[in-house]
């Protein structure tokens, strides 16, 4: 264990990683339900926005996963 005295921090990082995993699944689900070639403008805009947000989110999620991996039990 490499985080003695920082158990609360470890738990918080793990909680953030788990929450981000759930949010990623939700974003992916929403993104796949909308079509980029839809005849409905709002659906196309939603798909485009979700795609871009998901790309940005993945950068942050990757950073959190790397931080989470630094804690050794």
The answer to whether position 1 is within a domain reads: no
The whole-model pTM stands at: 0.86
CA angle 9, 58, 31 (to 5 degrees): 130
The answer to whether position 58 is within a domain reads: yes
Per-residue pLDDT reduced to its tens digit, 4-30: 999 999 999 999 999 999 999 999 999
Checking if the pLDDT of 32 tops 90, the result is yes
Element (H, E) at 21: helix 7-33
The answer to whether position 2 is within a domain reads: no
Give the pLDDT of residue 73.
85
The answer to whether position 34 is within a domain reads: yes
Per-residue pLDDT reduced to its tens digit, 33-68: 999 999 999 999 999 999 999 999 999 999 999 999
- Residue 31 belongs to domain spanning: 7-70
Checking if the pLDDT of 1 tops 90, the result is no
Total structural domains within the chain: 1
The answer to whether position 61 is within a domain reads: yes
């Amino acid at each position: 264990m490499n985080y003695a005295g920082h158990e609360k921090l470890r738990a918080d990082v793990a909680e953030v990683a788990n929450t981000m995993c759930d949010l990623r699944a939700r974003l992916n689900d929403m993104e796949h339900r909308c079509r980029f070639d839809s005849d409905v403008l709002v659906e196309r805009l939603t798909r485009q926005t979700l795609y871009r947000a998901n790309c940005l989110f993945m950068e942050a999620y990757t950073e959190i996963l790397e931080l989470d991996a630094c804690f050794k039990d």
